[in-house]
Amino acid sequence: MIPEIGHLLLIGALTVTFIGGCLPFYEFVSKKYYSQSYIRPFSILTTFLVTGSFICLIYSFLVDDFSVAYVATNSNTLLPDYYKFAATWGAHEGSLVLWILCLSLWLVGYMFSKNNVNDSFSSITSAVMNQIIFAFILFTLFTSNPFERLLPFSPLEGGDLNPSLQDFAFTIHPPLLYMGYSGLALPFSLAIAAMITKNIDSLWASSSRPWSLLSCAFLTLGIGLGSWWAYYELGWGGWWFWDPVENAAFVPWLISIALFHSLIVTERRGVFKNWSLLLSILSFGASLLGTFLVRSGALTSVHAFALDPERGLFILGIFTYFIFGALLIYSLKNTKTQSESTYSLTSVEFGFLLNNLLLVVLAISIMFGTIFPLLYEAYTNGDQVSVGPPYFNVLILPFAIGLGFLQGIGLFLGWSGTKDFSFLNRLVIETLTVLIVINTLLYFLFGSFSTWSLIACLLFAWIVSGNILDVVINKRSLNKIRSFLSIRLGAIFAHLGIAFLVLGIGVVSTYSSEKELLLSVGESYDLDGYVFEFENMSVKRGPNYIAEVANLDIKENRKTISLSSENRNYLSANQETTEVGIVAHFFKDYYVALGENVQGDTWSFRLQVKPFVRWIWFGALLVAIGTFISSIKLLRKET
Amino acid sequence: MKTVIFSIILLLSQVIASLEAENLEVGKELYPFESHDSEVRFNRLLEDYRCPKCQSSNLAGSNAPIAMDLKLEIYRLVRAGKKDSEITEFLTQRYGDFILYKPPFQSSTYVLWIGPFVLLFLAMLLVLAFKRNQQNKGADRNIAELKRQLEFDQSNK
Amino acid sequence: MKKFVHIAPLVIFMFLILALFSFLQRDNNQLNSVLIDKNFPEFNLTKLENKNVVLTKGDISNFPAIVNVWATWCITCRIEHPFLLELKQESKINIYGLNYKDNRQKALNLLERDGNPFEFSIFDKEGSLAIDLGVYGAPETFLINADGIIKTRHVGALTPEVWDKKFVIHLK
């Protein structure tokens, strides 16, 4: 009964969004306005219907209703309740309902962010959002219905949630990520509205900016969590692999950053209108493209969803309709403005322009590199090639340096042009100071220098100097510092976040230690000064698994740290996973992955020491905090 | 007498056993190397080659049987002093370019390696061309404005 | 000039859609073999059925032939096994086995129990010949044509459909 209700609610939402997606356009074109106050109530109704449907799905999981095919495939009676809850979005069909829910939340958020939504601009925005929601519901109902039933013979027991997904980070990674992906629909819709109602102006830019920032914040958290999860779950100590699914999230993230920077310029100076419009379209386009790549089976990946060309075709259709439509409107519109303010090459406008360029070209290059193997195979009629980390790591470096450079000087440049370049001297001195401090620290901790980490340290020093250090040193008066901070708080957090991220990456890439070896109980190994001792093996029973646990002691100087790594056998599907043993410290992580039982009491292990790896996610967190702060500040100004 | 000898042996064996317990044995490396540089090279190579069987993983991060076999093979080749290019050749002869995570730099992949920078360069050119165009228009507008001002002043003399 | 810049994204987008559409038509989930149009590689391994007999490339001589990579731990191999027996009966083509990273006795027991479609099987305990063939799992099947050239490689169970589609054409 409940699944049927869920199904019906979704159909209801389909109907409401159909009307909500068409009516405002009809009104705008025919100039016949109905009781316009319907768009806000409609958005609330849609959200209720979708939420209700989602709750029905969750309920089916929690009561082990295996007559629902989706529940039977992805859940199990032994699964703990909180994972049953998360299994709702553990696979393709359910994750789509989550997508739709996120879209509805953004829509209703927008509706309540303004006092008055009765103008054509807001109603067209709402209409586009409704169309997007409609398209996704249509896709779900037609190709990926989570409420399909296995009747009359429903299984007594389900498959299981993939063991590597039975994990805390997994439960919150998709919702955050989807909030980010779907959030970009709002700047997209606002851009369409601006073009259609011919309101391409500062007002549009200022209303679009907080939503771009907020989407970026969610994407940052989602990507950061994904990276952290991969680190402790996959067992080989890596945290980013340039996997197609990772790139599918990284590309929209990059473009969204270009977007909200470009919107600053459009809002303040009335220029970059075309850039801002195009970026609004491209960011959501990248989001849809990512969805396509991940769910169509075109690309295989560590965690691509259900692979099905029919679904791929449908998503391609959605992608084409919205992005082709948007680009068509974009090419037809006219942005001849009366007063184009000019700016010089030393202006902050030009800095933002370079910023846009670097981010967009990087994003396009990453996307190109991701689909290149497919293009290559088609073009050479069968030859296969792979594009992986060695390529992407080389690609991103010059862009990172260019963007990092801009991040350091950005706050010093003036609108239209910069007259006072005295900041450069100060910046260089401050950078060198920080650089020497950091390098001394690294030498003290790890005993060597490295060119690659030097570049990372340089970027770190430069960004830190330009965003906080110089202000504190130069402004002198506490009041001035405080006012500076209050205006730029979000930006400072975000830029510092990038600095820490870059430093973490640089250090962990050059100073890590690792060793694969065999250890018998009682044996120990000295890895670059850290002594790992294999204490014993024990057995552990979990709610739905049995584990063999290896307990180790690590001695560094005089301290002893314990950690354990285990091999889990999940009883339901007889799947095995390894849980890595990690002890996290401020300056390093100890990382142990249990391997196989080679014979008797001898096991294979992979031991690692990963310096500064936490700084990567700390940096990501700062970026998310910064973008959140900025977006909330802007939203409060609007209401 | 026999009991004395027996007890001494027993005692000695205990002592030896306890001594052995103090000297903890050291674990055996799976891929031991003489030189640290070789080991670094080996670890880097494992990240550059793709596991043929996995959906998306390098040799370093995979426990698939073929990955373990290839790791061992690469280990042997590195210990035998083979250069990176020779190891790459060995692998591509058997598994094709697919096994390289760093695509080869050849005419069919120029667009991948050089494309981004060409794109950046072209975009910069476009932007600078636009700026100059805009500046000229701005200059023209200023001149037109000045002209008008002049005519206005003259007609009002 | 400005008009061009505004239309360019649209044009590029259309090319992208075409490319993405073509990706969906892809039928290939396998790694293509680079040994196509090459000779069978050299090797020096014992015969599964007799560990005192050493086999080399010269022993794979009766062309056309197929070389099937199999193992007792490979479940899919059990599924294709009946078809191999059938193939041996009907087409009279030579089928050589490559026993991949297996236990000799277990492998012999399996052939005893389920039937032996192979002229003989090469006992590749370490998987060295498999690596030289670019094998990455089991089952895999190679076709060597009448001239001794490898013409096709299939990953996965050999079925009548695959045989008709991928193998028969090279036997003409």
Distance separating alpha carbons of residues A291 and A132, to the nearest angstrom: 14
Q: Considering only CB atoms, which chain C residues are within 8 Å of A384?
A: 31-32
> How near does any CA of chain A get to the CA of B2, in Å?
35
For chain B, count helices (H), then strands (E): 5, 1
Both tokens of residue A8?
A: 């019906």
CB contact under 8 A, A517 and B28: yes
Judge whether residue B14 has pLDDT over 70. Answer: no
Mean of the per-residue pLDDT values for chain C?
Answer: 92
- What is the 3 state secondary structure string of A411-425? HHCCCCCCCCCHHHH
Chains that contact C by 3+ CB pairs under 8 Å? A, B
Q: Considering only CB atoms, which chain A residues are within 8 Å of C35?
A: none
Residues 6+ apart with CB under 8 A from A312: A292, A295, A296, A297, A298, C24
- A residues 338-367 closer than 8 Å to B (CB): 340, 342, 345, 353, 357-358, 361-362, 364-365
Interface probe for C, chosen from B66, B74, B131 (most Cβ of C below 10 Å), is B66
Would an 8 Å CB–CB cutoff place A378 in contact with chain C? yes
Give the residue from C162, C150, C169 showing the smallest Cα distance to C28: C162
> How near does any CA of chain B get to the CA of A301, in Å?
5
Burial of C139 per CB tally in 10 Å (0-12, 13-18, 19+): buried
Interface probe for A, chosen from C24, C155, C166 (most Cβ of A below 10 Å), is C24
- Whole-number pLDDT of residue B23: 47
* DSSP per-residue letters across A10-42: HHHHHHHHHHHHHHHHHHHHH-----GGGHHHH
Residues 6+ apart with CB under 8 A from B107: none
Would an 8 Å CB–CB cutoff place A382 in contact with chain C? yes
Would an 8 Å CB–CB cutoff place A327 in contact with chain C? yes
Judge whether residue B143 has pLDDT over 80. Answer: no
The residue of chain B nearest to residue C35, with distances taken between CA atoms, is B94
Interface probe for C, chosen from A143, A320, A328, A381 (most Cβ of C below 10 Å), is A320
CB contact under 8 A, A316 and C17: yes
Q: Alpha helices of A451-477 — where are they, by DSSP H?
A: 451-464, 470-475
Q: What is the pLDDT of residues A450-487, one digit of tens each?
A: 888 999 999 999 999 999 988 888 877 888 888 888 88
Sequence ranges of the domains in chain B: 31-104, 105-157
CB contact under 8 A, C6 and A312: no
Q: Considering only CB atoms, which chain C residues are within 8 Å of B73?
A: 131
Q: Considering only CB atoms, which chain C residues are within 8 Å of B104?
A: none
Give the residue from C11, C157, C152 showing the smallest Cα distance to C77: C157
> How near does any CA of chain A get to the CA of B135, in Å?
7
Q: Alpha helices of C104-157 — where are they, by DSSP H?
A: 104-114, 128-132
The residue of chain C nearest to residue B95, with distances taken between CA atoms, is C134
CB distance B80 to B69 below 8 Å? no
Q: Average pLDDT in the B111-115 region?
A: 96
- Whole-number pLDDT of residue A227: 95
- A residues 374-413 closer than 8 Å to B (CB): 376, 379-380, 383-391, 395, 398
> How near does any CA of chain C get to the CA of B68, in Å?
11
Would an 8 Å CB–CB cutoff place A236 in contact with chain B? yes
Give the residue from C82, C88, C84, C85 showing the smallest Cα distance to C141: C84
- Whole-number pLDDT of residue C87: 92
- The CATH architecture to which C31-171 belongs is 3-Layer(aba) Sandwich (3.40)
- Whole-number pLDDT of residue A345: 86
Q: What is the pLDDT of residues C63-78, one digit of tens each?
A: 899 999 999 999 999 9
CB contact under 8 A, A525 and B102: no
Distance separating alpha carbons of residues A160 and A73, to the nearest angstrom: 7
Query: What is the value of ipTM here, to two decimals?
Result: 0.90
Judge whether residue B1 has pLDDT over 80. Answer: no
Q: Considering only CB atoms, which chain A residues are within 8 Å of C5?
A: 274
Residue C154's φ and ψ, nearest 5 degrees, are: -115, 135
Both tokens of residue A414?
A: 């003036």
Which CATH number applies to B31-104?
A: 1.10.8.640
Q: What is the pLDDT of residues C124-155, one digit of tens each?
A: 999 999 999 999 999 999 999 989 999 999 99
The amino acid that residue A225 corresponds to is L
Low-confidence ranges of chain A (pLDDT < 70): 35-36, 300-307, 335-340, 639
Both tokens of residue C10?
A: 């649209």
DSSP helix/strand/coil, A88: coil
Both tokens of residue B129?
A: 């061309």
> How near does any CA of chain B get to the CA of C90, in Å?
32
Sequence ranges of the domains in chain C: 31-171
Interface probe for A, chosen from C23, C29, C153 (most Cβ of A below 10 Å), is C23
Residue A634's φ and ψ, nearest 5 degrees, are: -70, -40
What is this structure's pTM? Answer: 0.92
Judge whether residue B22 has pLDDT over 50. Answer: no
CB contact under 8 A, A377 and C26: yes
Percent of chain B with pLDDT over 90: 52
